[in-house]
Each structure stands twice: as structure tokens, then as C-alpha cells.
Amino acid sequence: MRCYDMAVVGAGPAGCTAALYAARAGLDVLVLERLGPGGQMAQTQHIENYPGFPDGADGAALADGMKAGAERAGAIFLLADVRSAQLTGRVKELQTDGGPVLARTVVLATGAGPRRLGLPQEDELPGVSYCAACDGAFFRGKDVAVVGGGNSAVSEALLLSRLCRHVTLVHRRSTFRAAPAGLAALEKQDNVTFCRNSIVTELLGRERLTGIRLQNGRELEISGLFVCIGRTPVSALGGEQLRRTPDGYYCADETTRTGLPGVFAAGDVREKQLRQIVTAVSDGAAAAQQAEHYLGKTSRRAEI
């Protein structure tokens, strides 16, 4: 069975960059992704803070470009769901829905998924979404609400304000964490209402969402609810072999090295202060460099 120099799990900005740098360094690289390139970046319609794009960048186009660059350098991309991993040996084994994959180094770039409200029916009731770019068109001309107070929530509300009849932005605090520029743009929309110091306590409706109930008992009649309250790391892979923070992020320093030789954690799944596309790209480059260094050392040991 073929053994790759590097297996990258996840094709977001961290994974694509790790693949690009590793392939350019002459490593034999396989990228495993269960959906498509870009991760949450691909679901962002307009990215305003990525360097080199003064007018903003389309997230899906940026994702496709990152994948194309890595492929041009020689990396191989495979649609596969990685279900388990044995990471402690010199040769790592990943079990996928298409069979086992062997690699001498592994970069975990699995990213993070949307954090849930934790309410009954949240995962079953049609009308609840975590991506306006994906589902906003289904609510054209209707009333919707967005929950959250950060940049993602403001960006989602701004996008929905161009599609929907009315948007209510529900935030648990009186002030927003979002950047002033984005918040100012949202405040200019005449079909947006801000609902501060409020928490969603109940989803209303049986066959589909018809409204929400807030902590003070107030009810809002809406057809769609978009939840933007942060991310949860996708860090189950590796089980007890890897250390994690109490919040579930892989423990790895700025070099992206984990506690296991030859295993690296890059991007939003890694313990870090700032999670942005640029920091994910930086992690990917660091992981590739560290993997190259690790492979050089282990090869020299094998020769000795």
C-alpha cells in the first residue's frame, strides 16, 4: 500500500496551504476532505479582510483558488470521510469511508463547525440554518432573525437584509463584538431591527419554524433563524491520543506541533488567540515546514 509523506485532513485554508507548501518542498501529499475545499470560508459570500483583495473576495472562489494552487504544486485531493486514526507510530493510519490511508506525517486541519443554541428541535426543525450564503435564498421576501453579536452574525444579517423582507438581529448583550465598519453598514439598512439584551429560549412551530420566544417572553414571528454564536472545533479524530483544551481544541503551539511526533494541528481546530483566514494560512505553512523538518530527521535516523 502506498505511504504518503503527508496526509492532510481538511481542505480549508490551513489544509490547502499545508498541501501547497509541502508539495512545493517535494513531499508526496494527499488531502482528505469529506465535502469540498474551503471549509467555512467557502460559505462566506464576501470576505473583506483578506490581504490583496481591496474590494473583498468571494469565499468559494478563494477556496477553489487555494485548492488549484496546491494541486498545481503536486498535491492530490480526495473526497473522503476520515472516521478514525492511529497516530502514534512512525507510519500513521487513517481509516476513511474509502479504505485505509498511510502517511508518515499528518496535518489535522479539520476546522470548526457552528455552535448550536442547544434548544429542542434545533437539528430537526426546517427553518433553522447556520449559513446565510447557503440558505438565504430560500427566505427571499420573508421575515428572518439572526442570533449573534460578532462579525459573522453582522455579515449574515447584512446579506439577508438584501434578500429578506425584514431581519431581526438578536444579541444577548447590549454591545456588539463586530467590527465597527460592518456594524455601521448594517445600521444603514432600513429593514433591520436590533434586539439587544435578548436570548432565544424556544423555537416555535411543529412542521417547520414559525417563530422564536425570547427570554422576556416576547415572541417573534419569523420563517427563518440563522444561528451565528461561534464555532465548535471538529477535533474528535485521534481520540485520546492527542491533548485538547477544555473547549476541545487541539493543544499545539505556533509551530503547530502536537504532543505526537509527526502530527500537526493547523487552523481553527488548534488552540490559539485569533482565528482568521490569514492565521489558518500561516498555520498551514508552519505545519508543512515542520513536517519537512521532521521527515528529514527521521530519514537520517533510519539511514544511521
Question: Distance of alpha carbon 268 from its chain centroid, rounded?
Answer: 7
Dihedral of the CA atoms 151, 154, 160, 164 (nearest 10)?
170
Task: Report the distance separating Cα 70 and Cα 141, nearest Å.
Answer: 40
Catalytic residue among 58, 135, 195, 251: 135
Task: Report the distance separating Cα 281 and Cα 43, nearest Å.
Answer: 17
123 included as an active-site residue: no
Catalytic residue among 81, 97, 134, 253: 134
Task: Report the distance separating Cα 274 and Cα 161, nearest Å.
Answer: 28
Task: Report the distance separating Cα 240 and Cα 166, nearest Å.
Answer: 47
Host H or E run for residue 57: none
The 3-state DSSP class for residue 31 equals: strand
Host H or E run for residue 289: helix 277-303
135 included as an active-site residue: yes
- 234 DSSP assignment: -
Task: Report the distance separating Cα 159 and Cα 298, nearest Å.
Answer: 50
Q: Strand pairing partners for 65?
A: none
195 included as an active-site residue: no
CA distances from 241 to 50, 89, 263, 299 (A): 35, 11, 11, 24
Reference 263, options 241, 285, 246, 280; nearest CA is: 241
Task: Report the distance separating Cα 107 and Cα 4, nearest Å.
Answer: 12
Catalytic residue among 131, 164, 228, 283: 131
Residues catalogued as catalytic: 131, 134-135
